[in-house]
Structure formats: C-alpha cells, structure tokens
Structure 1
C-alpha cells in the first residue's frame, strides 16, 4: 500500500474514533458532546453544557448532581425567560423523559447547564477535565469535558456566567 494512503487511513481512523469518543453512554442515557466554555481571567465560575442527553430507554430518569475536581462545587442551573428578562435559578434535578432528548446548550433561552462554582483555575480553550454525573436510575458515571470556544461568540457573551 502507498505510504501516504496508509497514513491518511490511520489519521482518518484516529479522528473518527476521537469524534465518537466525545459522546458517552450511561445505561440508557446518551450524553452528546459535553463541553465547557473558556473562563475569563479572574472569574471563579464556569459552565458545562451538552448538545443533549438522550434517554433511549422506556423509563424516565433524572440528572441529580455533578462534581468535578476543577471546581469546589457544581450546581444544576436552569435558564428561563420571565417576560423580557432571562432568569437563572438553581434546579434540584433535570428530568429526562423516556424516549426524549433534553438539550443543555449554551445560549439556549430555556434550558439547563452545570454551573461550576469556585473554579480552582481558569478553563482554557483546548483543556479537558473529568465530570462525574449522578443519575437517579443510571447511577454515577464519569465523562470527559473539553473546553472550547463557542462558534457563536455573541451568544456566549450574553450568557449569564461570563
């Protein structure tokens, strides 16, 4: 086989595997693309998002809590429009109905995210860290979160935690 072609096949396989590895399974739950946005210098808060959590099972589940070594504590937060005002409140859990996908993306006017409190250091583009999620039925699962700049910087700048 041509050495260039072989190298191309190896690289393609590597990147395909890396992309697939950015999604996680937790029982019947599929956690799609966990990511955090870079934190600004001096900030002690950050946020973790997911493209979505899909419950492929026949039974509802709930995200109850999260923890990570990069922050002193993690809270589940919900953003909601109250008239013309965006409000953020701590939530006790995220309901994950059977057969449904719950989005947790930044810039979403009515959605959830994980709020990182008491960051132990800045979150820098390209870094990654572990987050442990605790679900009511699926149990506790650890996943890797990548820090990345959002594609829509205007949406990120309007987010509450920056």
Structure 2
C-alpha cells in the first residue's frame, strides 16, 4: 500500500513538474528580432527575426502598439518582378529555423503611429498556433535598427 501511494505521489510530482516546465518554455524561440528604422512621416516598415518551434506550429499574427495594423508578408518573384503580398500565416516545422528576412517572409508594420528611431525598443506580440490548435502568445521587445542595417546570417 505504501509503495502504491509513493508511486502515485511521484507520478503527480512529475506531471506537475512537466506542466510547470511547459508553461515556462515558450512555444517558439525568437532569435535576433529587429525593426527597420523609419524617416519622419513614413507609414510602414518591416520586422525581421528567426523563429524556431520545438513542435510543429504556425505563426498566425503579430501585433504592436506602434502600428495601426500588422500583417505577415511574403516577397516572391512573379516573372521578372519581385512582389510582396500578405499571407495568412507561416508554417514553423518542428526543430527547423524559419527566417523572416528582407526578400522573403517578414512582418509589416503598417499605419505607423510615429517615427521609429534607431535604438528604440518596440513591444511586439506574436500569435502562434500549435498542431493541437492551442494558441500561444510570444511577447517580445524588439530593437529598432538603422535604415541601412542588414542582419548577419540571412535574417
């Protein structure tokens, strides 16, 4: 009887520890996020970063108080012309890095409320959905980089 109670208690502690760990671990790891600075009166800019999900997930949305609208965009060649368009999300395959970079997927900040200056920190929230349908918010503080900044490593 005592062994049974001890086993149940140990199982309960392990499941509680696993639950606590899953609540502490973010669903997506964000590496080197940045936003391109703007000039006065500019109404749009891009946010770039690298995303890596431990389990398959999908980036559904992003938001920031610095912009009236935020959209996920993709740039791609159509014939001889590079075109940009909004997409409804980006798949994040388990364990694979996905770059949000100039010339590919990125986050567009539209209807900017003010100029974003180099050195500022801008709050941003990413909404990610796991394969199980559960949504998670990833809160970031994103630095604003100079207009001519280009990230190392392709993102």
Instruction: Give the TM-score, by structure 2 length.
Output: 0.73
**Equivalent residue number for residue 41 of structure 1:** 40
Tell whether 2:51 aligns with 1:53: yes
Taking the aligned partners of 2:111 and 2:149, their CA distance within structure 1 comes to: 26
**Equivalent residue number for residue 29 of structure 2:** 30
Taking the aligned partners of 1:148 and 1:73, their CA distance within structure 2 comes to: 20
**Equivalent residue number for residue 94 of structure 2:** 98
* Structure 2 unmatched runs, 5+: 1-24, 151-155
Tell whether 2:75 aligns with 1:79: yes
Taking the aligned partners of 2:118 and 2:143, their CA distance within structure 1 comes to: 8
Tell whether 2:36 aligns with 1:69: no
Q: Once superposed, which parts of structure 1, at least 4 consecutive aligned residues long, lie more than 4 Å away? A: none
**Equivalent residue number for residue 3 of structure 1:** none
Taking the aligned partners of 1:151 and 1:70, their CA distance within structure 2 comes to: 20
Tell whether 2:82 aligns with 1:89: no
**Equivalent residue number for residue 145 of structure 1:** 142
**How far has the Cα of 1:151 moved from its partner?**
3.6
Taking the aligned partners of 1:83 and 1:32, their CA distance within structure 2 comes to: 32
* Structure 1 unmatched runs, 5+: 1-24, 153-162
Taking the aligned partners of 1:78 and 1:26, their CA distance within structure 2 comes to: 25
Paired residue for 1:128, among 98, 121, 124?
Answer: 121
- How far does the alpha carbon of each residue in 1:24-78 deviate from its partner, in whole angstroms, 9 at most, with x for none? x622x2111110011122111111111x111233xx1000011101011100000
Instruction: Give the TM-score, by structure 1 length.
Output: 0.70
Taking the aligned partners of 2:36 and 2:108, their CA distance within structure 1 comes to: 11
Q: Which has the larger radius of gyration?
A: 2
Superposed CA RMSD in Å reads 1.7
Paired residue for 2:109, among 112, 116, 141?
Answer: 116
